Amino acid sequence: MRKVLLVSVIIPSYNSEKTITRCLESIQLQTYPHIEIIVVDKNSSDKTRQIAKKYTKHVFVHGPERSAQVNFGTKKARGTYIYRVDSDFIVDPDVIFQCVEKCEKEHLDGIAVHNTSAERLGFWADVRKFERNTYIDDDLIVAVRFFTKKSWEEVGGFDETLYGPEDYDFHNRFVTAGFRWGRIRAMEKHLGEPKSLSDIWKKHFYYGKQMVSYFKKHPRVATKQFNPLRISYLRHFWTLLAHPMIAIGLLIMTVVKFSAGGLGFISEWFTWYATAENQVKKLYGNLGWVSVFTRIRFWTGSFVQVEQEVPANGKILDLGCGYGIFANYLAVCSPQRKVIGIDTDGNKIKFADRGIPNTSFWVGDATKMHLKNLDAILLLDVLHHLNSYEDQERLIHSCMRMLTSKGRLFIIEVNNKPFWKLVLGRTTDALLYVGQPVYYRYKNEMVSMLSKCFGKNYIIAHQFTHNPFPQVLYICQKR
C-alpha cells in the first residue's frame, strides 16, 4: 500500500469491564500500525472507563445508545476509515490490515467483517457460532462495520432512533447511496453470547421491540432478513447433518428467538400506534368541534393502514390536509419524515400547526402546486371535492411531475360497493359540505384515469372493509 491511512476504531461501551480489556488488547495487536482508538461510554457504573484509559486517551461519555455513541466517536475521529467494534468483541490481528488493503486495491467504500461467536462459551454459544457461520457468504444478513468517513457523512451516520438493527439500517442506506463494499477472510469474535435459553428469550424479546422502527424504514428487506426459514441454513445442510446435536439446538434456538422477537415486535407495534394516535388526539384536545372531528377521522379515515404504506422517511406532501390530523400523525409515527400539509381553507390550516418539528403547513390550492422531488403525495378524500373531473385529471398529472423517481401517490376515494356504505358516505358529504357539488369516480373509473398517467402495472387498489365508508386506497408509483 502506497499511502499511510489512519483508521479510527470506534468502540461504544456500557458496563463492559468483563470484556473491554480483551477487546482493546485485540485492537492493539493489529498488524496495521496506523490506528487511533476512541471509546465512547454510556456512563458506565463499573470500571469500564478506567480500563479504557489504560489503552487510549480518547475516552468520552455520551449516549443514549450505541448509534449515538458511534456517531459521536466518528465526529471526533481523524481517520480516513472508521471501524466500529463493540466492546464485547475481539478481532483477528489482520482485520484492519485486510480491510484497508481490500478497500484501496479494489476501490471499495466499506467492508463487512464477518463476526462469529468466541469458543468455549457454552453449548448455546456453540449453536450461535454455527448459525453465524452460515451467514459468512450471505448477502442478506450482513452489515458493513468498516467504512470511509466520507461515506458515513454522506449516508448521514447511524440512525440514533434505532438500537439493535442500526447496523442493518446503515448498511441498507450505504448500499442505496451507491457505495461499494466487500468481504475479507479475517473475523471478529463475540464474547457476550447468551448462556441459556432464558437469556436468548430476554435478548430477542427486547430486540423484537426495537425492530418496529426498522420494519417501518425497510419493510421489504426486513421481511426477508427476519424470516426464520433461512436459505443460508439450506446452503449448509450437509454440515448440519454431520452435527446432529448442534442441528437440534439450532432448531430450538430458532423457535425461541423468533417467538420472543415476534412477541416483542407485536407488543411494541400496538403500543407504538396507540401511543402515536393518543398523542395526536391530545394535540387536538380542547378545540371544540376540531377535537370531535379528530376522533371521527381516526375512526373513519383508515389512518393506521395508510401510514404503514407511506415511506418512513423523505418528503411527504398531504394535499387537502384540512386540520392537519393525518399529516401530524405521519410526522409523529416517523420523525424521519418531513411532512408538508396544504389546504385552501386558512381557517383549518390555523389549527394544523401543533408544534411537531418535522411538519409545515401552508394555505394553497392543490391544483396549483409546483413542488419537486417529493417521495410521497397524499390525496385523502380530496378528488371528489374538486370543481370538475378535468381538474381531477390535471391534479393527478401535476402530482406525478412533483414526485421523485419511484415516488408514490396515495389516493383515498369512495367506491359504489357496498351500496349502504355509499349512501352513508354521500349523506355525510352532503351534511358536511352543504350545497357543494361532488364529483365521484368509482373504482373502475379511477383505475382507468390513473392508468393513463402511471400505467396500469404501477397501480394498486385496495378496498377497506373495517370502516363505515366504502373507501378504496390507490397506490400509484412513478416509473
**For residue 115, which of 158, 145, 75 has the smallest C-alpha distance?**
145
Q: Decide which of 269, 294, 324 is a domain's last residue.
A: 269
pLDDT higher than threshold 60 for residue 257: yes
> Domain check: are 239 and 334 in the same one?
no
Mean pLDDT rounded to a whole number for the chain:
90
pLDDT higher than threshold 70 for residue 2: no
- Of 74-83, 159-168, 173-182, 394-403, the poorest mean pLDDT is in 159-168
Write down the residue that cell numbers 456453540 correspond to: 126
40 part of a folded domain: yes
Q: Which residues contact 274 (CB under 8 A, 6 or more apart)?
A: none
> Domain check: are 237 and 320 in the same one?
no
> Domain check: are 257 and 310 in the same one?
no
* Helix residue ranges, H only, 334-473: 346-352, 389-402, 419-432, 443-454
274 part of a folded domain: no
Summarize pLDDT for 214-226 with one digit per residue, the tens: 887 787 788 888 8
Tell me the CATH number at 385.
Answer: 3.40.50.150
213 part of a folded domain: yes
> Domain check: are 261 and 329 in the same one?
no
> Domain check: are 265 and 145 in the same one?
yes
Q: Which amino acid is at 267?
A: S
> Domain check: are 132 and 199 in the same one?
yes
> Domain check: are 91 and 127 in the same one?
yes
144 part of a folded domain: yes
| Number of domains comprising the chain | 2
299 part of a folded domain: yes
Summarize pLDDT for 170-215 with one digit per residue, the tens: 999 999 889 999 999 999 999 988 889 999 999 999 888 888 888 8
As a whole number of angstroms, the distance between CA 91 and CA 381 comes to 57
pLDDT higher than threshold 50 for residue 33: yes
Mean pLDDT comparison of 23-37, 152-166, 213-227, 385-399, highest-scoring range: 23-37
Write down the residue that cell numbers 475521529 correspond to: 77
> Domain check: are 45 and 169 in the same one?
yes
The pLDDT, as a whole number, for residue 193 is: 86
Summarize pLDDT for 93-141 with one digit per residue, the tens: 999 999 999 999 999 999 999 999 888 888 998 998 888 888 888 888 8
What integer is the mean pLDDT of 391-395? 92
Within 10 angstroms of residue 265's Cβ, the number of other Cβ atoms is 22
> Domain check: are 233 and 139 in the same one?
yes
Give all strands (DSSP E) within 123-273, no chain letters: 146-148, 181-183, 188-190
103 part of a folded domain: yes
> Domain check: are 133 and 162 in the same one?
yes
As a whole number of angstroms, the distance between CA 479 and CA 465 comes to 30
The pLDDT, as a whole number, for residue 202 is: 92
Q: Which residue has the higher pLDDT, 13 or 470?
A: 13
Question: What torsion, rounded to 10 degrees, do the Cα atoms 138, 140, 146, 151 define?
Answer: 140
Q: Percent of the chain, pLDDT > 70?
A: 99
What integer is the mean pLDDT of 225-250? 84
The pLDDT, as a whole number, for residue 305 is: 83
279 part of a folded domain: no
pTM exceeding the 0.75 threshold for the entire prediction: no
The pLDDT, as a whole number, for residue 309 is: 87
The pLDDT, as a whole number, for residue 298 is: 87
What integer is the mean pLDDT of 316-323? 95
The pLDDT, as a whole number, for residue 32 is: 96
Tell me the CATH number at 187.
Answer: 3.90.550.10
Q: Decide which of 246, 269, 292 is a domain's last residue.
A: 269
Contacts by 64-67, CB closer than 8 A, 24 or more apart: 65/160, 65/163, 66/12, 66/158, 66/163, 66/166, 67/157, 67/158, 67/159, 67/160, 67/161, 67/162, 67/163, 67/166
The pLDDT, as a whole number, for residue 369 is: 75
> Domain check: are 263 and 363 in the same one?
no
Phi, psi at residue 3, to the nearest 5°? Answer: -95, 150
Instruction: Count, in order, helices (H) and strands (E) of the chain.
Output: 19, 17
As a whole number of angstroms, the distance between CA 103 and CA 109 comes to 6
As a whole number of angstroms, the distance between CA 467 and CA 152 comes to 45
As a whole number of angstroms, the distance between CA 438 and CA 417 comes to 18
275 part of a folded domain: no
Q: Decide which of 212, 241, 269 is a domain's last residue.
A: 269
Indicate the pLDDT class of residue 143, thresholds 50, 70 and 90: very high
Q: Percent of the chain, pLDDT > 90?
A: 57
Tell how strand 459-463 and strand 471-477 pair up: antiparallel
The pLDDT, as a whole number, for residue 230 is: 78
What integer is the mean pLDDT of 403-418? 91
> Domain check: are 111 and 212 in the same one?
yes
Q: Which domain holds residue 102?
A: 7-269
What integer is the mean pLDDT of 240-259? 90
Within 10 angstroms of residue 237's Cβ, the number of other Cβ atoms is 11
What integer is the mean pLDDT of 65-92? 95
What integer is the mean pLDDT of 60-89? 94
